[in-house]
Amino acid sequence: MDLATLIGLLGVVGVLVGAIFTGEGPASQFVSIPSLLIVFGGTVMATLIKFPLGAVFGGFKVGLRTLLAKSDKPELLISVSVELAAVARKEGLLALDGREMSNPFLEKGVQLLVDGTENDVVSRLLANDIDQMIERHERGESIFRAIGEVAPAMGMIGTLVGLIQMLSNMSDPKSIGPAMAVALLTTLYGAVLANAFALPLADKLAARSNEERMLKNMILESVNCIQSGMNPRIMQELLSAYLPGSKRDLADDSDGKR
Amino acid sequence: MDLATLIGLLGVVGVLVGAIFTGEGPASQFVSIPSLLIVFGGTVMATLIKFPLGAVFGGFKVGLRTLLAKSDKPELLISVSVELAAVARKEGLLALDGREMSNPFLEKGVQLLVDGTENDVVSRLLANDIDQMIERHERGESIFRAIGEVAPAMGMIGTLVGLIQMLSNMSDPKSIGPAMAVALLTTLYGAVLANAFALPLADKLAARSNEERMLKNMILESVNCIQSGMNPRIMQELLSAYLPGSKRDLADDSDGKR
Amino acid sequence: MDLATLIGLLGVVGVLVGAIFTGEGPASQFVSIPSLLIVFGGTVMATLIKFPLGAVFGGFKVGLRTLLAKSDKPELLISVSVELAAVARKEGLLALDGREMSNPFLEKGVQLLVDGTENDVVSRLLANDIDQMIERHERGESIFRAIGEVAPAMGMIGTLVGLIQMLSNMSDPKSIGPAMAVALLTTLYGAVLANAFALPLADKLAARSNEERMLKNMILESVNCIQSGMNPRIMQELLSAYLPGSKRDLADDSDGKR
Amino acid sequence: MDLATLIGLLGVVGVLVGAIFTGEGPASQFVSIPSLLIVFGGTVMATLIKFPLGAVFGGFKVGLRTLLAKSDKPELLISVSVELAAVARKEGLLALDGREMSNPFLEKGVQLLVDGTENDVVSRLLANDIDQMIERHERGESIFRAIGEVAPAMGMIGTLVGLIQMLSNMSDPKSIGPAMAVALLTTLYGAVLANAFALPLADKLAARSNEERMLKNMILESVNCIQSGMNPRIMQELLSAYLPGSKRDLADDSDGKR
Amino acid sequence: MDLATLIGLLGVVGVLVGAIFTGEGPASQFVSIPSLLIVFGGTVMATLIKFPLGAVFGGFKVGLRTLLAKSDKPELLISVSVELAAVARKEGLLALDGREMSNPFLEKGVQLLVDGTENDVVSRLLANDIDQMIERHERGESIFRAIGEVAPAMGMIGTLVGLIQMLSNMSDPKSIGPAMAVALLTTLYGAVLANAFALPLADKLAARSNEERMLKNMILESVNCIQSGMNPRIMQELLSAYLPGSKRDLADDSDGKR
């Protein structure tokens, strides 16, 4: 898990716990097992209706793996690719055979070149891989996003159930306040589950997936460049456009002004 | 119906019934025939305005069939297609004549090849089939989604009607609470109908439709590969991109790192 | 008007009237001329700002005509087109001259073929016709959708006006309830106008427009097939993809499994 | 300003003034200078943050000009273009030199033809013009749409400020009603500014922009037709697809059935 | 920072401070450290979950730089480009070597031309640069937009926490008002943070990014024109379409009617 996710998750919990403990009344008034069951149980069940069983677990697994994975640094990948291109120009594509690479996607692309696979078949194979990776990632993201949509609705349903029970039995005016407090608990649970956990995690998954897509597109372009025997200097220039400004200077000194 | 849908539907009902019975007051206070009529009747009627009569029933039928259908496993389809390609490369396309296949869409594609149909006519026929399947599925999904949009509105309309009746006749303060409880019932019904049933089912339909689309696109690509006499090993590689990570290892050992 | 629209409109009115008459208090408490003026008047005026004057009336006219129109059955159009193709293949395109057809769009396409119009000019003329039809239909739909967006806002504005008047003059506590009831009436009117009439009708228009677009695309494809002298059997197969599952069996026995 | 906009704006004001004067209490209770400052001032300020200073004024200017402008009638433009095409076919493109035209965009296109500009350069120049016009119009529209989004938020902020002030100082129960009335005023102002003025005007701008885009696309197609020396009868047919149904009969008698 | 952003930010603060000080009660009732911690702390933490750590800081940096940067005037760039084209037509592309240009993107493009880089490689390099710039800008914008989405949710969560605490401890009726006032403070903070700062700044970033994209597309087109040796007069005409109406007259007198 990257640092930001960890800090964010701990921080959000800290902010909520702080808010509860600095306020009036015991913290125990914020815990209600039936309310937890309505919001969490209802959300899990509705999510099961929304997706195939395999997709729910698969989505969680893809999600966790994506959150925990470390992605390669683009500037390193560029310098490796440019080096490969230089070797291939001088000694031919076969000279790349058997090279170890840290990135399996780049390795696969280069291996296809070495095998003498046709030009557009290579592009098609790699592009297919990218498309399928995007689809897998989107499935993981959509599970979290679905939770983020269902949880507030379940919170509202729980609050409505509580309000109806309270309104039908208003014999003791003193009990109205606490009963409403309990009814509002499910709305609170739903809002926290959605806005502090599910939706931000879905966004992080989207950001990671985006990063990886950019990286793989860059590798696809590198492989095309290697195959076409492009001038390494041009290739460096071409690929450095994938880098954010600050890193471009490291990889490419000639574009210092930007 | 796949297992997840069944578990989810039963679970959502269980959660709601549990919330009602563990709370104060009799469960009967959550049942009001007029409120049911407003929300369910109003939703059905508005849905009839939204769609042609045939589309409502057709959409429900497509929906049910999609929920109940079992889709083919992609890894099996890949191995069948690769086998067909190997046969066709060795013995010609005619050798595929009369083969039984579990998937009717694959069978149709292969039959077209055997009949000597022209290259792009095959693609056009199959792509047309896919487009029309998507349109049929989307119609089914849109019925459920429409219900999910209309139901909360009908719930709100019912609550407004109840509130106006209550506010105009506030002579007895004791009746205010129960009257408001009844007024809120329609909002509850609308929220449950939309968020626990209609919208999740619409999402499941979309997920199933997506799966089937991917499967048919894979078959369309297989048929193209068979027709062009592609090397079965390359074809295996190409098609295995359609598989989720865990299943790719089963179908294709050479990509173990992913 | 198709049956579903009629049933739906009458049914929605029935549900609302039932809810009002089974509740407490006289039905007259749901009628307030000033509230009607705010919601309906305000909605009409805002709609006039949103669209050119001609578009409002034109949109209503297109809307009504679309709701009332009966569309051709696609399976009949397919058999007619296939027959035309068979004739054209045997006796040449000129043999189609003067044929009466129930569908004016098909007739126009065939007439262009008979006139010897060039291949892509025919496609361009017919595609232009389809684009313009879509644009006209979308204009009709957008009028109803605009009403569905404005009406709840006008209802809220009316309720705010009523609440402010009530809150400023709370000398008599007994009048608070009825005053709030009146204030809520505009919200109710806005919600009913939008969710029970305007938005469902907009959706029906979209569904009808979609149907017609599919039909015209099918005709465009038929005309192309006739012009290219396609084999009628292939053409039948190609066009039958436009049919929903149940009707495909009628038009094309060879695809019984689907 | 077209008639519909004028009627709509006056009508909306009339409806609101009517609602205020027919209700209880003096109309003056709906005027509060501080509330006006919060909603209008806050909206203007947030709009200034959203757009470059020039864009705000430019957008307003484009908006006003678009609202006030009169667009050419498409049926007239078609007959002029067809006439030009007939002349060009008979006497050559140079015969069009120096002709006065009511529409400057058509004149520019024809002038380019007369100058002997190359085929695709003409299309590129005119298409660029259309793209830039769309961008200018969208900027105008987006200013009004931004106001329509910000105003309700500013209204809510104002109401929250008022509620907090009221709730902190509830010593005199009699002042609660009027204080809440004042707090709600900003919500009312925000809702009216957004839903009765800003959003409808943004929609009108979009409709006008759409109309103009269609007109310019038609002219672009006309110029292409003239350049390619198309048969004027075919050209008439082709262009008449741009007309709404009722006007098509005027411009083109052969399509009377539609 | 452009003037509009500065005026807008100061103005929004002024409007809010004015509203607070002209109302009843001390301004101090609008400050609550715990409420500030919930809304600001919670928003920051959720934003950290949403984005990679580098992206949050990078996004802020890009955002600030974009807000503070001054963009080149398009009319100046056009006249410079046309001049370059005239020189290149007369003396060849090499005559452009070593020219200083105020815009580094134009300089880079011209340098590539001088280096004799192939036609489509130049386009690809520059288009890549534009794509990456857009992606960087969108990342900056999305940070602010995420804050604008999370802040109101955190405000609502804070208010729910406060309400539950208040409702559970309603022994002293006098404390209810002030307790609710404090509970509402977080909603107010969230609404102000989102609607008066984060969302408007996100929109300004989008507007600036849009401007810059247009500028760079114009330069890309200029470079293509220079390379193809286009007639400077046509080029001027072509590029002037990028200018807003008022500035087009300055750059191009022949289009005075628009």
Q: What is the pLDDT of residues C155-212, one digit of tens each?
A: 999 999 999 999 888 777 788 888 899 899 999 999 999 999 999 999 988 888 888 8
pLDDT score for A1: 56
Q: Which of B37, B52, B165 sits opposite C24 (nearest CB)?
A: B165
Q: How confident is the model at residue B254 (pLDDT cuts 50, 70, 90)?
A: very low
In chain C, DSSP finds a helix count (H) and a strand count (E) of 11, 0
pLDDT score for C254: 38
3 state DSSP class of C117: coil
pLDDT score for E251: 41
Amino acid at A208: R
pLDDT score for A163: 92
pLDDT score for D189: 96
Could you tell me if the ipTM is greater than 0.90?
no
Percent of chain D with pLDDT over 70: 94
Model confidence pLDDT, tens digit, residues E100-129: 888 888 888 888 888 888 878 888 888 888
* Dist CA B14 CA B10 (whole Å): 6
pLDDT score for A190: 96
Model confidence pLDDT, tens digit, residues B116-155: 888 788 888 888 888 878 877 888 888 999 999 999 999 9
pLDDT score for C225: 87
**Neighboring chains of D (3 or more beta-carbon pairs < 8 A):** C, E
Q: Is the pLDDT of residue E159 over 90?
A: yes
Mean pLDDT of the region A106-112: 87
pLDDT score for C154: 96
Q: Is C69 on the interface with D (CB under 8 A)?
A: no
Mean pLDDT of the region C14-23: 88
Is there a contact between A37 and B16 if contact means CB atoms under 8 Å apart?
A: no
Residue in D77, D76, D99, D78 with CA at minimum distance from that of residue D88: D99
pLDDT score for A250: 41
Determine phi and psi for C57, rounding to 5 degrees: -70, -45
Mean pLDDT of the region B9-15: 92
Q: Is B256 on the interface with A (CB under 8 A)?
A: no
Between C and D, how many residue pairs show a Cβ–Cβ distance under 8 A?
151
Which of A235-249, B61-75, B168-182, D11-25 has the least mean pLDDT? A235-249
Q: Is the pLDDT of residue A50 over 80?
A: yes
Q: Is the pLDDT of residue D205 over 60?
A: yes
pLDDT score for A246: 52
Q: Which residues of A touch E45 (CB under 8 A)?
A: 7-9, 11-12, 14-15, 196
Question: Mean pLDDT, chain E, as a whole number?
Answer: 84
Q: Is B125 on the interface with A (CB under 8 A)?
A: no
Which of C239-253, D14-28, D110-124, E42-56 has the least mean pLDDT? C239-253
Model confidence pLDDT, tens digit, residues D153-190: 999 999 999 999 998 887 777 888 888 998 999 999 99
pLDDT score for A257: 37
Q: Which long-range contacts (CB under 8 A, 24 or more apart) does E79-84 make?
A: E79/E251, E80/E106, E81/E106, E81/E219, E81/E222, E81/E223, E81/E225, E81/E226, E81/E235, E81/E239, E82/E232, E82/E235, E82/E236, E82/E239, E84/E110, E84/E222, E84/E226
D11-26 residues labelled b (16+ CB within 10 A) or e (exposed): bbeebbeebbeebeee
Q: Is the pLDDT of residue E1 over 70?
A: no
pLDDT score for C258: 35
Q: Which residues of D touch E214 (CB under 8 A)?
A: 135
pLDDT score for A11: 93
Tokens linked to B181:
């409880």
Q: Is A154 on the interface with B (CB under 8 A)?
A: yes
Question: Mean pLDDT, chain A, as a whole number?
Answer: 84
Q: Which residues of A touch E37 (CB under 8 A)?
A: 15, 18-19
Q: Is the pLDDT of residue A196 over 90?
A: yes
Question: Mean pLDDT, chain C, as a whole number?
Answer: 84
Q: Is D9 on the interface with C (CB under 8 A)?
A: yes
Model confidence pLDDT, tens digit, residues C49-77: 998 887 888 878 877 777 777 777 888 88
Rounded to whole angstroms, the maximal C-alpha distance in chain D is 91
Q: How confident is the model at residue E254 (pLDDT cuts 50, 70, 90)?
A: very low
Q: Is B51 on the interface with C (CB under 8 A)?
A: yes
Q: Which of B56-60, B113-117, E194-198 has the highest mean pLDDT?
A: E194-198
Residue labelled with tokens 């989810």: B8
Q: Which residues of A touch E38 (CB under 8 A)?
A: 15-16, 18-19
* Dist CA D161 CA D147 (whole Å): 21
Q: Is the pLDDT of residue B60 over 70?
A: yes
Question: Contact at 8 Å (CB) between C118 and D230?
Answer: no
> What pTM did the predictor assign?
0.86
- Which of D32, D38, D47, D48 best tests the E interface by mutation, with the highest count of E CBs <10 A? D48
Q: How confident is the model at residue D246 (pLDDT cuts 50, 70, 90)?
A: low
Question: Mean pLDDT, chain D, as a whole number?
Answer: 84
Judging contact as 3 or more Cβ pairs under 8 Å, the answer for C and B is yes
* Dist CA B68 CA D161 (whole Å): 54
Percent of chain A with pLDDT over 70: 94
Per-residue DSSP letter, C97: T
Model confidence pLDDT, tens digit, residues E166-214: 988 877 778 888 889 989 999 999 999 999 999 999 998 888 888 888 8
3 state DSSP class of C243: coil
Q: Is the pLDDT of residue E48 over 50?
A: yes
Model confidence pLDDT, tens digit, residues C169-180: 877 778 888 889
Is there a contact between E11 and D45 if contact means CB atoms under 8 Å apart?
A: yes
Residue C253 or residue D71, greater confidence = D71
Q: Distances in Å between the alpha carbon of D78 and those of B56, C124, D228?
A: 43, 17, 17
CA distance B3 to chain A (A): 7
Q: How confident is the model at residue A254 (pLDDT cuts 50, 70, 90)?
A: very low
Q: Which of C56, C58, C158 sits opposite D19 (nearest CB)?
A: C158
Query: Per-residue DSSP letters for A184-197?
Result: HHHHHHHHHIIIII
Residue in A235, A213, A187 with CA at minimum distance from that of residue A83: A235
* Dist CA E42 CA E31 (whole Å): 17
Amino acid at C155: G
pLDDT score for D1: 56
Which of A71-80, C138-147, D81-90, E6-15 has the least mean pLDDT? A71-80
CA distance D114 to chain E (A): 14
Q: Is the pLDDT of residue C250 over 60?
A: no
Which residues lie closer than 8 Å to B258 by C-beta, 6 or more apart?
Answer: A104, B245, B248
Determine phi and psi for A203, rounding to 5 degrees: -65, -40
Mean pLDDT of the region E66-82: 81
pLDDT score for E250: 41
Q: Find, in chain C, the residue whose alpha carbon is nearest to that of B54.
A: C4
CA distance B107 to chain A (A): 24
**Which residues in chain A (174-213) have CB-CB distances under 8 A to chain B?**
179
pLDDT score for B156: 96
What does the radius of gyration of chain A's CA atoms come to, in whole angstroms?
A: 26
3 state DSSP class of E70: coil
Question: Contact at 8 Å (CB) between B106 and B114?
Answer: no
Percent of chain A with pLDDT over 90: 26
What does the radius of gyration of chain E's CA atoms come to, in whole angstroms?
A: 26
pLDDT score for D28: 85
Question: Contact at 8 Å (CB) between B65 and B141?
Answer: no
Which of A119-133, A173-187, B217-231, E189-203 has the least mean pLDDT? A119-133
Q: Is the pLDDT of residue E92 over 90?
A: no
Q: How confident is the model at residue B231 (pLDDT cuts 50, 70, 90)?
A: confident
Q: Which residues of E touch D136 (CB under 8 A)?
A: 244-245
